[in-house]
Amino acid sequence: MSQHGASTAGGQRVHRTQSALQPRRPTLFSYGRSDDRYRTIRPLNREYSTEQGYVSNGISTSKYTWLTLLPKNLFEQFHRLANVYFLFIVILNWLPMVQAFAKEIAMLPLLFVLLVTLVKDAYEDSRRRRQDKETNRRTAMVYDKGTGEWNSGIEWRNIEVGDIIQLYQNEIIPADMLLLDTSHEDGICFVETANLDGETNLKQRRLFMERTEAFDPDAFSETSQIECELPNNKIYQFNGTMKIRGHKEIALDQNNILLRGCVLRNTRRAIGIVVYAGHDTKSMLNNTGPRSKRSKLERAMNYQILYCCLILVVMCVAGGIGAGVWKSDRDWKDILYIPGKDDYAPAEEGFIRIFTYFIILQVMVPISLYVSIELVKLVQVYFIQEDEKLVYVDPANQHRHKMMCRALNITEDLGQIQYIFSDKTGTLTQNKMIFHQCSINGIHYSHPHDDTATFQDARSFPLDQSLVEDLEKDGGFDDDSVLHNFMLSLAMNNTVVPNNEDGELKHEAESPDEAALVAAAFVYKYVLLNRKSGRILLKLGDDEYNMEILQTLEFDSTRKRMTVIARLPNGRIRAFIKGADSAIMDIMKQGDSDLREKTEAHLHDFARNGLQPQARLRETYLAIEKEVTLLGATGIEDKLQEGVPEAIATLREAGIKVWVLTGDKQETAIEIAHTCRLMDESQSTILLNSQLASKHHSKPRSKRNEALHEQAAKETGDIIRGKLSEIEQPSARNKPLALVVDGATLSYAMLDQNSDAFLDLSLRCAVVVACRTAPLQKAQVVKLVKESIDVMTLAIGDGANDVSMIQMAHVGVGISGQEGMQAVMASDFAFGQFRFLTRLLLVHGHWSYDRIASLILYFFYKNSSLVFVIFFYQFFDGFTGQPHIEQMYLQTYNLLWTSLPPIVTGIFDQDVTEDALEAFPMLYEQGREDLTYKGRFWPIILDSFYQAVVIFFVPYAVYVDKLEDNGMLVMGTISIFCIIIANLIQNMILTRHYIWIHALCLAWSFFGVFAFAYIYNSLLLETPLIPDPYYVMQNASSDATFWLLLIFCPALAVLPRFLAMFYRRWWHPTTSQLMREDWIKDQRRRKPLPLWLNPCLPWSVLSCRR
């Protein structure tokens, strides 16, 4: 630590106090509100920060207080359509003219749902409140201008914008701060951002200007003012300006900012000023919680619910008409149980009864289905996240990359994917670059290939002796040769930070390709020793050189290059440029054609070997990135991730089309596609390369260039239509095709006049590879396929350039790797390696789709069967709107007796084992083609209608002569018991995989309803609407007819469904059924058990083909 750095902290007294800091008004700047476009920060001026409305550093992620818990939670719950629907029914039932149930009993289901949700939300909120309290009570060392002292006991919640804070090594940063001083001589510090973005490698942050004297907080506050952008959630972006009296305005960027939640590492001390506090910090603005999307299955379900609403309306209107007709033909004065029976005319009576029917038939709209699906998906997400087979352990640092589910409600979409759009670098490859070959001034140099090499071994790879000899002959800065400048470019044109604290020189790199290039320069004795603010120390052989960095033009996806402008020891100024070969060749000197041809030939060789090429150039400061001189090119090896070829082969076998969208050269993309089994020799490759497109696509859109762009668009369209004509020839039909298109041609192919033809050509190809694509082009390709042919899409990537593609697809997947966490934070699901995608889709996706689809259909079935039974009775009781089933059974039907078994099935059921799903990818067809759900709604409704006919009319025929002697309630009891038993049998038939929890739920539903009936009917209750149910169950169960009906009616009701399943499984088995049969037979061979003990459902075993 430097001398002046020591006096910064050591020269001040440190006090521990909780007293409020007292700022003084600065004298340099006048007061006034910040511009709406940016934020102004006045150091150590809390009065100004308060006046501007800047939030303090205290956070509150809890939603409620004890006073607001009940009203606010109820307000939130009634934003859900389900609860509004139930409330509407409850209110209707309180109107005397339409009342169908006892008021208190009718409220029970709604009150139960509201209470359970309130308790759950209150518990979660109390946990958040405890965490907030713990965070807010952490302390930091804050400078008090009133006393001129550092106060070490200031709680985080009392920190304000403009406060100056001193941090020590391993301290957590309390707010977003601009770095003002550091103990490092070169004005840098290191932070660990794992708490913010999950990355474990250290990041360097630097001072905004070179330090000339010890930092004085008082002097800084009197002479300085900061203007910066308004708070936002972009953790990799910051723009601002520092205004210091006597200095020019100084630009501020993300490299000057310390973000809340990060940890100060490898730096003894740092000082910063708070620019964003509390909920304005980038970490809090990114804390948005799980992403919310609607799955394809849920969208289809909503349409079916509309059909249920239509059926409900038809029945209610039919019942109302029946009530009016019935009353007009009869005298109701002697009928006991019809409220308001003598108060209304027939038409009025019919209109009122419509609303009564809405009450008694309310479950036709399965609103409880939403709650059940939410619960099932929550558990599914838990199982996915806890799957140890989806955990990647990085061998370099043993860091565990667990599966992350950021979207909680689209798990079933994972089972319906038809198109996958993938990035290459870091997604299919490891993104751990190894320097392999280079071309310098037209001369090719190569290094022996090492399959075991990693970045840690990069400094010890075998050297190219011819390159060593050429460097020994080189005169260095005196000769200013191409070879010398090439090596300088490797060592200087980067953001790598040397670290020598442990006595061993290490290079901290944020980009793996930069790490590889610096390591290559190191082995050839161009060693990056130090990087200070605005200066670089290089060691060339035995000599050290200090060079001034005048400007750095960082890489961006538009320019596709990075430039460093430096003043060399000989006084010359050079601009070193690196980037994609296409971006470099466009700015070369026109006279370098021979060198250009040689370098391009070497680049093609690198690409064919699967290497990632970069070109390097230099030119004077007065002609930045224009008319530059070509130095050479590098070939960097980026190996495929483990299991990528097998994963892609498996996904294609599952019927999923895989497209690769990459920024690499065409040759590199094709080579990688062959290596990862995306393309093979049996396919005919179609190349879309428009010469005019390559020549004109980068030219700005202007009137002068419009004709050139139109010409290029026309040529591109002609090429595409020509390729379509070729593949339609009889000789070319039935040949597997692979399409390769470059970014320039793609930009014109996506235009309105060409997009249909391009899409037609793409869909006829088994594989599509797009190279040299920009981030926006990736998203446009996904959008074209997603919206034009209505298929389920998934996009997977690892970097910031993949974010737009990930957000455009139905399902976005991020790879947590070497390129930061932008892709992960934009994704719905994230994991560590591409190969995990197969298990996520083929196992968890298949199960989730099958379970949710079955759950939805089951709810439609069980609710509509009850409604139809109640509706049938209305034809025999004068359309009074009174059900024959006792009201407590109706209110507890969904709540207690019929919801648990399907929910457990939706969580645990397995139509096929995970081993079979991974071994036979063709099973994925079930979800990809929507075979479980599509077209099943109306058959389910018809089946429930048939079952209602059996369950109502058979008991009615038996008890028709006993209805006057409490027979109505007996028949109603038989009806509800038969419905429940039929539901349970149906659930048993549909379940393929039993566990003890499922058996327990079935037992609860079956025995629980009987116990409830005996207990409830033993109580003497006042029931104003229907006859007293007292002892009905006891009397009914004493008759053998009752038990015979409970056996016969459910059996007859489910018989058609059972026979239909038996027929399908015997004569038209699905692929999954065949796999399940093989599994059952294998289980019997391994562990021969009696049929009733077989781990698979007996009903399924009976239907297996022998």
Indicate the residue among 609, 638, 667 that finishes a domain: 638
Whether residues 627 and 645 fall in one domain: no
Secondary structure letter of residue 1092 according to DSSP? G
| Vertex 840: Cα angle to 838 and 842 (nearest 5) | 60
Question: Which token pair is 264?
Answer: 């100060």
Pairing type for strands 767-771 and 657-661 reads parallel
Contact 500, 506 (CB under 8 A): yes
1104 vs 331: which has the higher pLDDT? 331
Contact 580, 797 (CB under 8 A): no
Whether residues 208 and 248 fall in one domain: yes
Whether residues 690 and 658 fall in one domain: yes
Task: Assess if residue 982 is contained within a domain.
Answer: yes
Contact 156, 135 (CB under 8 A): yes
423: annotated binding-site residue? yes
Task: Assess if residue 487 is contained within a domain.
Answer: yes
- Cα→Cα distances 546→206, 487, 530, 540, 543, Å: 19, 16, 9, 11, 10
CATH of the domain at 785: 3.40.50
Q: Does the structure show a pLDDT above 70 at 615?
A: no
Question: Which token pair is 737?
Answer: 């095709």
Task: Assess if residue 818 is contained within a domain.
Answer: no
913: annotated binding-site residue? no
Indicate the residue among 741, 763, 790 that finishes a domain: 790
Q: Which pLDDT does position 431 carry in this prediction?
A: 74
- Amino acid identity, position 64: Y
Q: How far apart are CA 923 and CA 843, in angstroms?
A: 10
Determine what percent of the chain is predicted with pLDDT higher than 70.
Answer: 83
247 vs 140: which has the higher pLDDT? 140
Q: Does the structure show a pLDDT above 90 at 769?
A: yes
Q: What are the φ and ψ backbone dihedral angles of 969, each rounded to 5 degrees?
A: -70, -35
| Vertex 811: Cα angle to 810 and 813 (nearest 5) | 150
Whether residues 724 and 651 fall in one domain: yes
555: annotated binding-site residue? yes
For the chain, report the end-to-end CA distance as a whole number of angstroms: 82
752: annotated binding-site residue? no
330 vs 492: which has the higher pLDDT? 492
Task: Assess if residue 801 is contained within a domain.
Answer: no
Task: Assess if residue 808 is contained within a domain.
Answer: no
Least confident of 78-87, 850-859, 984-993: 78-87
Task: Assess if residue 806 is contained within a domain.
Answer: no
Residues contacting residue 301 through CB under 8 Å, at least 6 positions apart: 369, 856
Q: Which pLDDT does position 1100 carry in this prediction?
A: 43
Task: Assess if residue 414 is contained within a domain.
Answer: no
Whether residues 616 and 744 fall in one domain: no
Sheet holding 240-244, edge to edge: 38-41, 224-229, 240-244, 250-252
Q: How far apart are CA 278 and CA 235, in angstroms?
A: 15
Task: Assess if residue 833 is contained within a domain.
Answer: no
Pairing type for strands 419-422 and 269-276 reads unpaired
121: annotated binding-site residue? no
Least confident of 234-238, 500-504, 1023-1027: 1023-1027
**pLDDT tier, 481 (very low <50, low <70, confident <90, very high otherwise):** confident
Shortest CA distance to 712 belongs to which of 748, 750, 753, 757? 748
Whether residues 452 and 580 fall in one domain: yes
Shortest CA distance to 411 belongs to which of 1008, 853, 718? 853
Model confidence pLDDT, tens digit, residues 531-562: 776 788 999 888 899 988 888 877 766 667 88
Whether residues 101 and 151 fall in one domain: no
Contact 742, 694 (CB under 8 A): yes
Q: Which of 191-200, 530-539, 809-818, 1061-1070 has the highest mean pLDDT?
A: 809-818
Burial 818-828 (b: 16+ CB within 10 A, else e): bbbbbbbbbbb
Model confidence pLDDT, tens digit, residues 45-54: 999 999 999 9
Question: Which token pair is 276?
Answer: 């964003």
Whether residues 476 and 614 fall in one domain: yes
Q: Which pLDDT does position 558 carry in this prediction?
A: 62
CATH of the domain at 171: 2.70.150.10
Contact 165, 276 (CB under 8 A): no
For residue 691, the enclosing domain spans: 641-790
Indicate the residue among 617, 638, 659 that finishes a domain: 638
287: annotated binding-site residue? no
User: What does the DSSP assignment read for 997-1020?
Assistant: HHHHHHHHHHHHHHHHHHHHTTS-
Q: Which pLDDT does position 248 carry in this prediction?
A: 81
Q: Does the structure show a pLDDT above 70 at 777?
A: yes
Active site amino acids: 423
Written in H, E and C, the secondary structure of 202-256 is EEEEECCCCCCCCCCHHHHHHHEEEEEECCCCCCCCCCEEEEECCCCCEEECHHH
H or E stretch including 833?
Answer: none
Q: Which pLDDT does position 285 carry in this prediction?
A: 86
The residue-averaged pLDDT of 999-1020 equals 92
Q: How far apart are CA 177 and CA 274, in angstroms?
A: 4
Contact 658, 678 (CB under 8 A): yes
In the three-class reduction of DSSP (H, G, I as helix; E, B as strand; rest coil), residue 425 is classed as coil
- Cα→Cα distances 488→396, 554, 566, 606, Å: 29, 17, 10, 22
Whether residues 591 and 631 fall in one domain: yes
**pLDDT tier, 10 (very low <50, low <70, confident <90, very high otherwise):** very low
Which ranges of 733-879 would DSSP assign to H, the alpha helix? 743-749, 752-763, 775-788, 803-808, 822-826, 836-839, 846-874
Q: How far apart are CA 361 and CA 364, in angstroms?
A: 6
Query: What is the pTM (predicted TM-score) of this model?
Result: 0.80
The residue-averaged pLDDT of 873-899 equals 89
Number of domains in the chain: 5
Question: Which token pair is 125?
Answer: 């909120």
Q: Which residue has the tokens 């793609």?
A: 746
What is the pLDDT of the chain when averaged over all its residues? Answer: 82
Whether residues 453 and 485 fall in one domain: yes
Q: How far apart are CA 770 and CA 783, in angstroms?
A: 15
**pLDDT tier, 1093 (very low <50, low <70, confident <90, very high otherwise):** very low
203: annotated binding-site residue? no
514: annotated binding-site residue? yes
Q: Does the structure show a pLDDT above 90 at 964?
A: no
- Amino acid identity, position 118: L
Q: How far apart are CA 94 and CA 378, in angstroms?
A: 35
293: annotated binding-site residue? no
Q: Does the structure show a pLDDT above 80 at 791?
A: yes
Q: For the purposes of burial, counting CB atoms within 10 Å of the CB of 198, is it exposed (0-12), middle (13-18) or buried (19 or more)?
A: middle
| Vertex 841: Cα angle to 840 and 846 (nearest 5) | 115
Whether residues 470 and 539 fall in one domain: yes
Q: Which pLDDT does position 401 carry in this prediction?
A: 83
Model confidence pLDDT, tens digit, residues 406-426: 888 899 999 999 999 999 888
Q: How far apart are CA 43 and CA 23, in angstroms?
A: 9
Q: For the purposes of burial, counting CB atoms within 10 Å of the CB of 115, is it exposed (0-12), middle (13-18) or buried (19 or more)?
A: exposed
Contact 833, 910 (CB under 8 A): no
Least confident of 9-13, 1040-1044, 1068-1072: 9-13
Q: How far apart are CA 439 and CA 631, in angstroms?
A: 8
Q: How far apart are CA 735 and CA 727, in angstroms?
A: 9
450: annotated binding-site residue? no
CATH of the domain at 537: 3.40.1110.10
596: annotated binding-site residue? no
The residue-averaged pLDDT of 1095-1105 equals 41
Model confidence pLDDT, tens digit, residues 16-29: 333 334 333 333 34
Secondary structure letter of residue 661 according to DSSP? E
Taking residue 204's Cβ as centre, other Cβ atoms within 10 Å add up to 20
Q: Does the structure show a pLDDT above 50 at 650?
A: yes
Which ranges of 875-934 would DSSP assign to H, the alpha helix? 887-892, 900-908, 914-919, 925-928
Q: Does the structure show a pLDDT above 80 at 598?
A: no
Burial 885-905 (b: 16+ CB within 10 A, else e): bbbbbbbbbbebbbbbbbbbb
Question: Which token pair is 23?
Answer: 């700022």
Contact 246, 155 (CB under 8 A): no
Whether residues 1007 and 1082 fall in one domain: yes
Shortest CA distance to 271 belongs to which of 355, 213, 154, 187? 187
